[in-house]
Structure 1
Amino acid sequence: MKRDTVYRLEMTNVGNEHYWTNIVPGGLNGYTGAGQTSATPASPRMLQASIQVDL
C-alpha cells in the first residue's frame, strides 16, 4: 500500500545570533515616565523536524 509521506525540517536563527527582538519604553503599556524599558531577547538556534504520514 502506498502512503503519502511529508518530511519537514525547520531551523530558526541559523547563525545563533544574539540580539533583541524589540525594545519598548515603559514596558508593553507604553511610556510610564519612570524611565523604565523592557526588551525581549531573540530565540536561540532551534531545529524542528516532523514526519506526516497519511493513512
Structure 2
Amino acid sequence: MDEFYLVVHPVIAGQGRPWFPAGSLTDFLKLKLIHTRTFENGCVAHHYARKLS
C-alpha cells in the first residue's frame, strides 16, 4: 500500500472498540500524514503516504 485515504464522520456512538489502535497508522503501517481537510459538515479527510525509510 502506497497511500491511504481515511474520512472520519462525526457520530455519537458512546463506547466501543476503536477501528485503528492509537498510533497504528503511523507506526505499524509505516505511514505519514500528508494532508488533512475538514469539511463544513464536520467530516475530516486524512491523506497518508508510505514512509520511504
TM surpasses 0.5: no
* Alignment TM-score, normalising by the size of structure 1: 0.30
Q: Which has the larger radius of gyration?
A: 1
Larger fraction in strand? 1
